[in-house]
Chain A
């Protein structure tokens, strides 16, 4: 601690819940005098050691390495050992601490991480050396720096589940694997030693890849800059390029691509037909009619843009330009 750093009063409101001993969830208020740079975890441990030994939380390294202290800090998914008290008090006047979202609460700040880990395991997170698809000629288990570069962010992950806690797709749909699982999957898909790319991409396309909302809340929450949302984007592009429009999600992306090539601008109605087929269009008809009554432009084709020939030429140059060297 810097000797001359001024102490500030830090009001904590900590979520307390102990299902084993009954009672309703509640917030307990504590106040500490701390230097602004003090990690929130340090504050919580002082509460536990000096004020209330029943406070239950999970932690280990206290250095943003083990990934065990993720929780909600003023509603944001954060590592408690990596988040100083000062800025939070400045912004919110207090520090509200809750357990992570999207996982059942066991006691106080401790959650059951099973939903996080079981989704991760479904990704088959290990190298698969398929004897039917041997590694390309000349590829050994040693990788070139350029090959490693393609997944340089993913190994930084400390499995803290902050991204999982922040993800609205996880919250809304149990079929969604979650940001960390997909970022890890990406890592195996582009690993030159792994020979199960086709199997992995086929499987994930039907098992939730296209439910990612690209909201980037995971990337915002991640303490290690793994940038899961960007890896998921990469996975989608790889899936589209390798396997075409096999699912509603990939059909929509491809449909959108072709849609713009035609007029330079979006034709809303046509896109729905491309993604959902005639059956899907029929199913969405009542909703469409409701909207059309207020917004009749829905059924009009927009005029083509000026300079459409330029757009078409850009398409013909780059349409088959693969995203990454493989």
Chain B
């Protein structure tokens, strides 16, 4: 399998461990990643709020780059997934299409609308397949209770994302079970991480993050795992603030999606960038009989 790799901004900057883990897992599963240094940011939902058509046009350019190479596009971020999928959808509106074409055609960019946008979670569960992954597990995450945390834009609006239901998905939990972990079901798994208002009202953002972490904890989770690096910032990098907001220490290790898969397929914690996390993943790793060196 060969895909146009769209890492998104965070995985190339502060969330580099996500990029490391993605590359490791894709190599282990025989997925070839083709990089395009010409990809621009998906707009992260913020550009959409300032100028919808501009946001669609920028993403149409990204989609056209993959289309020209004859590849579908792999995302590793719930928000990138949402924004690029929405661009595909909004381009079917003739009024938006005309304004986007007015900007792209003079640049020689033509997008026919054929690029499929696939998040890594979908590629793993649908294209590679749960069974193939199960067969490759060398270090089952036995005994580790993991709360999946989806990230809004991978799921909703569900009639536009056209994947699982917007409130009761199960792909991530199925994958966790396949690598030997015990998936934990809790309400917070489909809720918001608070990230979008981190710079508008930090205390509210942290209260929201803290609530979801607390919920996972109350349902017995030893760790959480997310397919979205923005959620990871909220849940891991800002977890100290979330702890303050809820009034007690949360101490919840939070993995990126490919890190849990990578661990089960035999990667070392260092190869997956686990020492880069703010909340130490050591206690979770100890449960599966491994440890990080940092």
Interface set of A (CB-CB < 8 Å, partner B): 75-76, 91, 168-169, 171-173, 210-211, 213-217, 219-220, 227, 229-230, 233, 236-237, 240-241, 247-250, 252-254, 256-257, 260, 264-266, 268, 271-272, 275-276, 280, 284, 287, 290-291, 294-295, 297-298, 300, 302, 305-307, 310-311, 313-315, 317-319, 321, 323
Residues on B with C-beta less than 8 A from A250 are 50
Residues on B with C-beta less than 8 A from A295 are 14-16, 237, 276
Q: Take A233-B48, A253-B49, A290-B278 as given contacts and tell me if A302 and B107 are in contact as well, using a CB distance cutoff of 8 Å.
A: no
CB closest chain-B residue, reference A257: B50
Contact among B38, B54, B104 with A305 in the assembled complex (CB-CB below 8 Å): B38
CB closest chain-B residue, reference A291: B237
Residues on B with C-beta less than 8 A from A321 are 51, 53-54, 99
CB closest chain-B residue, reference A264: B40
B199 & A248 in contact (Cβ 8 Å cutoff): yes
A229 to B16, CA, bound (A): 31
B50 & A213 in contact (Cβ 8 Å cutoff): no
Say yes or no: is B171 at the interface (Cβ < 8 Å to chain A): no
B39 & A256 in contact (Cβ 8 Å cutoff): no
Contact among B51, B57, B102 with A323 in the assembled complex (CB-CB below 8 Å): B51
Residues on B with C-beta less than 8 A from A215 are 152, 156, 191-192, 196
A203 to B255, CA, bound (A): 41
* Most chain A CB inside 10 Å of its own CB: which residue of B53, B201, B211: B201
Residues on B with C-beta less than 8 A from A227 are 157
B157 & A318 in contact (Cβ 8 Å cutoff): no
Contact among B16, B53, B200 with A248 in the assembled complex (CB-CB below 8 Å): B200
A314 & B187 in contact (Cβ 8 Å cutoff): no
Please name 9 pairs of A and B residues whose Cβ atoms are closer than 8 Å in the assembled complex, sorted by A. A75-B187, A210-B200, A260-B58, A265-B41, A294-B277, A297-B14, A305-B37, A307-B38, A310-B61
| Nearest CB of A to B61, in Å | 6
B277 & A172 in contact (Cβ 8 Å cutoff): no
Q: Take A257-B50, A295-B16 as given contacts and tell me if A214 and B9 are in contact as well, using a CB distance cutoff of 8 Å.
A: no
Q: Take A75-B187, A220-B158, A318-B53 as given contacts and tell me if A213 and B197 are in contact as well, using a CB distance cutoff of 8 Å.
A: yes
CB closest chain-A residue, reference B36: A306
- Complex interface residues of chain B between 136 and 173 (CB less than 8 A to chain A): 152-153, 156-158, 166-168
Residues on A with C-beta less than 8 A from B191 are 168, 215, 217
B103 & A317 in contact (Cβ 8 Å cutoff): yes
Say yes or no: is B241 at the interface (Cβ < 8 Å to chain A): yes
- Complex interface residues of chain B between 22 and 57 (CB less than 8 A to chain A): 37-41, 43-54, 57
A240 to B152, CA, bound (A): 24
Q: Take A248-B200, A314-B103, A314-B107 as given contacts and tell me if A290 and B53 are in contact as well, using a CB distance cutoff of 8 Å.
A: no
- Complex interface residues of chain B between 171 and 202 (CB less than 8 A to chain A): 187, 190-192, 194, 196-197, 199-202
B53 & A323 in contact (Cβ 8 Å cutoff): yes
Q: Please, what's the 1-or-0 string for B1-28, where 1 marks a CB less than 8 Å from any CB in chain A?
A: 0000000011011111000000000000
B192 & A217 in contact (Cβ 8 Å cutoff): yes
A85 to B164, CA, bound (A): 20
Residues on B with C-beta less than 8 A from A280 are 199
Q: Take A237-B49, A294-B277 as given contacts and tell me if A311 and B39 are in contact as well, using a CB distance cutoff of 8 Å.
A: no
CB closest chain-B residue, reference A210: B200
Residues on B with C-beta less than 8 A from A213 are 152, 192, 194, 196-197, 208
Contact among A220, A306, A318 with B103 in the assembled complex (CB-CB below 8 Å): A318
Say yes or no: is B247 at the interface (Cβ < 8 Å to chain A): no
Residues on B with C-beta less than 8 A from A307 are 38
CB closest chain-A residue, reference B37: A306
Contact among A264, A294, A297, A310 with B109 in the assembled complex (CB-CB below 8 Å): A310
| Nearest CB of B to A167, in Å | 9
Say yes or no: is B240 at the interface (Cβ < 8 Å to chain A): yes
A240 & B49 in contact (Cβ 8 Å cutoff): yes
Residues on B with C-beta less than 8 A from A173 are 201, 204, 207
| Nearest CB of A to B247, in Å | 14
B51 & A297 in contact (Cβ 8 Å cutoff): no
A315 to B58, CA, bound (A): 9
B278 & A302 in contact (Cβ 8 Å cutoff): no
A260 & B41 in contact (Cβ 8 Å cutoff): yes
B50 & A237 in contact (Cβ 8 Å cutoff): yes
B49 & A236 in contact (Cβ 8 Å cutoff): yes
Say yes or no: is B106 at the interface (Cβ < 8 Å to chain A): yes
A43 to B102, CA, bound (A): 56
A311 & B103 in contact (Cβ 8 Å cutoff): no
A290 to B238, CA, bound (A): 10
B57 & A256 in contact (Cβ 8 Å cutoff): no
A253 & B156 in contact (Cβ 8 Å cutoff): no
Residues on A with C-beta less than 8 A from B276 are 294-295
Residues on A with C-beta less than 8 A from B38 are 305-307
A276 & B152 in contact (Cβ 8 Å cutoff): no
A256 to B53, CA, bound (A): 15
A250 to B47, CA, bound (A): 10
